[in-house]
Structure 1
Amino acid sequence: MDEIVKQALAKWPNVPSCTGWLMLDRRGNWRMRDEAAQASGSPGTPIRHDALLGFINRNYAADEHGQWFFQNGPQRVYVELGYTPWVVRFAANTDAEHDALALKDQAGDSFDPAAVLIDEEGGILFADHSTPPKVAVLHDHDLDVFSDHAVLADDAMSGEFRWNDGVVLPLQAVRRAEVAARFGFVASPAAKAV
């Protein structure tokens, strides 16, 4: 968390939180949701300002209930999630000698997968090694790269994913409706009392 945010929290500790105004969409875009967007259920306007995106990413965390938020100075802004709290993309692994993969989340940080899941809609999710594990959905523009490194069984819900250094991760089936409960996050804090 940024030092300026810590100072604001100390100075104004009782600022009410807000919900519904910020969304992380299915492709890892941060979106502002004004009252019209909230009323219509639309995802809102993408945030394009690099400094603001960096500020959001550095001050993004979860509370004890699994509700993700952006700490905007003294105010906690709860985030609507398009799917998972993290969205990952494949990137070239510049540390590797040959054809290695890397995953980067929407903040540009490395994501080291320990498990690969596939939902009934064909969404690919990665869980990491942390406890509890973080879960990230793969950006849909990277499904071709995933397919180049995966072998799907005839049921299209199992198989294996060939990761780096000969590591093979089995594909596990998961129902999309069960992902939030399984990984302990709240997709819509606005729908839950905060």
Structure 2
Amino acid sequence: MDDIVRQAIAKWPNVPHCFGWLGLDARGNWYMRDDRTQHAGPFPASKGSLLTHEKLIDFIQRNYECDGEGQWFFQNGPQRVYVELEAAPLVFRLGDERMVTSHTGRPARVQRVVLDDLGRLFLDTDIGFGIVHALDMETASDAVESGQWAPRPIRSTELACRFGFVLSPAARHANTMKKAGQ
């Protein structure tokens, strides 16, 4: 986390969290979701505006973390902006010699490989759980065919619970508020 972000949290510790305004797709692209987009439907059916500003994306990715409940967020100064996920909290790219790097630029070591019933390949790594980018499936299939990776089957509906992440913090928050009568 950036020092300036830590300082903002210390200065303004009670800023309300933000839900539904930021999305991450299965290719590692970030989307800004304004009110109109949110009212049009949940992410990823209603994605919003693709973020293209490199410095903003770098800032988001440096300050992208997970809370204790498996909800991923971007710490934007003193405010937590919870992220809507299309498939998983991380998107992995495969480089030379099958080096694995997350969409945030962090290197990762593969601990487990799973294949869901939709044909998507996921990696459980030392930095977290994520989907393999679609453009790297040929390299991934080489790892499987060579015996380097042995994917275990899993139903897509079990991924979030099994690997401890929340696809839609906004929906979870709305359900919590509804139960609390707010």
Report the secondary structure of 1:10's partner residue. helix
Q: What CA distance in whole angstroms lies between the structure 2 residues aligned with 1:74 and 1:129?
A: 28
User: Is 1:144 the equivalent of 2:138?
Assistant: yes
Question: Measured at CA, do residues 18 and 189 of structure 1 come closer, stay the same or move farther in structure 2, by a change above 3 Å?
Answer: same
TM-score normalised by L of structure 1: 0.83
1:47-98: per-residue Cα shift (whole Å, max 9, x none)? 1111111111111111111111100001110000111110001112xxxxxx
Unmatched 5+ residue regions in structure 2?
177-182
User: Is 1:104 the equivalent of 2:105?
Assistant: no
- Aligned residue number for residue 179 of structure 2: none
Higher strand proportion: 1
Q: What CA distance in whole angstroms lies between the structure 2 residues aligned with 1:129 and 1:72?
A: 25
Question: Measured at CA, do residues 69 and 129 of structure 1 come closer, stay the same or move farther in structure 2, by a change above 3 Å?
Answer: closer
- Aligned residue number for residue 153 of structure 2: 173
TM-score normalised by L of structure 2: 0.88
State the aligned residue count. Answer: 170
Contact 1:24 1:30 in 2 (8 A): yes
What is the percent sequence identity of the aligned residues?
A: 45
Q: What CA distance in whole angstroms lies between the structure 1 residues aligned with 2:137 and 2:155?
A: 18
Q: CA deviation at 1:192?
A: 1.1
Q: What CA distance in whole angstroms lies between the structure 2 residues aligned with 1:51 and 1:80?
A: 21
Q: What CA distance in whole angstroms lies between the structure 2 residues aligned with 1:177 and 1:70?
A: 25
Contact 1:114 1:169 in 2 (8 A): no
Q: What CA distance in whole angstroms lies between the structure 1 residues aligned with 2:48 and 2:171?
A: 17
Q: CA deviation at 1:148?
A: 2.5
Higher helix proportion: 2
Q: What CA distance in whole angstroms lies between the structure 2 residues aligned with 1:79 and 1:23?
A: 5
CA RMSD of aligned residues (A): 1.4
- Aligned residue number for residue 7 of structure 1: 7
Q: What CA distance in whole angstroms lies between the structure 2 residues aligned with 1:111 and 1:6?
A: 25
- Aligned residue number for residue 154 of structure 1: none
User: Is 1:60 the equivalent of 2:29?
Assistant: no
1:23-53: per-residue Cα shift (whole Å, max 9, x none)? 1111111110111211122111111111111
Letter in 1 for 2:3: E
Unmatched 5+ residue regions in structure 1?
93-99, 152-160, 163-167
Contact 1:88 1:105 in 2 (8 A): yes
Letter in 2 for 1:135: F
